[in-house]
């Protein structure tokens, strides 16, 4: 590998991690704004979202430049293609954080309702998952990436429970319908975020092992996770 390519790949690593840090910060602020009803903080997240968009374009341009100038192969090519995919997924998480903030501002204009406890559980789980996702990326940790894939099902279960609670709330108090619809929309954003994080972890697995795990059966994910953890314990 040429020294130029090594330098370009190292710079690309720093760029994708910088984008991840910015997305993580905005997600934290978005969830804080949602829980507290802080519209000022929500507007701050919305105002910084264009910076995430610009960052995503810069990373994409770096990827295209490396592919055009160096024609990487094997592991380097997998890394670069995975970064291209992760770049887009992080930008979408940033968009969803801004969307949550827009709904938070809308919710403040309606009759203020308490954010359901299940949604707060879901939000906390999402924030933890993003931290684990970024750790898996930084450390190229396949076992951690597979753990995120498995834990995504907990988010799905919380989402299903929340839907039931919202249906019951609508039956009991139709006058709060507009506010409850906003809460449902935020829940959908959170659920989509978790899906984006699993996409990133699938890209990490591809980056490290060259294995494509999209559309894999959940039980297969569990089996692979057990195998990874078992190998780790043996070491």
Q: What does pTM read for this prediction?
A: 0.85
pLDDT above 90: percentage of residues in the chain: 63
Calculate mean pLDDT across residues 18-24.
94
Write down the pLDDT at residue 111.
Answer: 65
> pLDDT tens, 98-152?
999 999 999 988 766 888 999 999 999 999 999 999 999 888 899 999 999 999 9
201 vs 13: CA distance, rounded Å: 16
Q: How do the residues of the chain divide into helix, strand and coil, expressed in percent and rounded to 5? A: 90, 0, 10
Write down the pLDDT at residue 219.
Answer: 46
Domains parsed from the chain with CATH numbers: 3-234 (1.20.58.220)
Residue 92 pLDDT greater than 50, yes or no: yes
> pLDDT tens, 177-225?
899 999 999 999 999 999 999 999 999 998 888 877 665 554 444 444 3
Number of Cβ within 10 Å of residue 30's Cβ equals 31
Choice between 82 and 89, residue whose per-residue pLDDT is larger:
89
Which H or E run includes 213?
none
Write down the pLDDT at residue 235.
Answer: 35
Task: Give helix 177-209 / helix 74-109 axis angle, nearest 10°.
Answer: 170
């Amino acid at each position: 590998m040429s020294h130029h390519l090594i330098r370009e790949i190292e710079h690309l690593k720093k760029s994708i991690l910088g984008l991840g840090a910015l997305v993580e910060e905005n997600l934290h602020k978005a969830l804080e704004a949602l829980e507290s009803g802080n519209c000022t903080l929500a507007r701050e997240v919305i105002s910084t979202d264009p910076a995430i968009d610009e960052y995503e374009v810069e990373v994409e341009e770096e990827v295209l430049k490396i592919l055009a100038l160096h024609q990487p192969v094997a592991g380097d090519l997998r890394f670069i293609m995975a970064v291209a995919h992760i770049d887009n997924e992080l930008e979408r998480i940033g968009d969803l954080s801004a969307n949550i903030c827009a709904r938070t501002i809308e919710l403040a204009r309606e009759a203020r309702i308490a954010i359901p406890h299940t949604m707060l559980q879901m939000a906390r789980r999402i924030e933890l998952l993003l931290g684990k996702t970024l750790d898996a990326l930084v450390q190229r940790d396949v076992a951690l990436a597979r753990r995120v894939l498995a834990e995504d099902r907990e988010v799905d279960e919380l989402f299903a429970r929340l839907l039931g609670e919202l249906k019951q709330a609508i039956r009991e108090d139709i006058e709060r319908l507009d506010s409850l619809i906003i809460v449902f929309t935020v829940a959908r954003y959170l659920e989509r975020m978790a899906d984006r994080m699993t996409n990133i972890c699938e890209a990490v697995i591809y980056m490290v092992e060259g294995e494509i795990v999209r559309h894999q059966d959940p039980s297969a994910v569990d089996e692979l996770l057990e195998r990874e953890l078992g190998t780790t314990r043996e070491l």
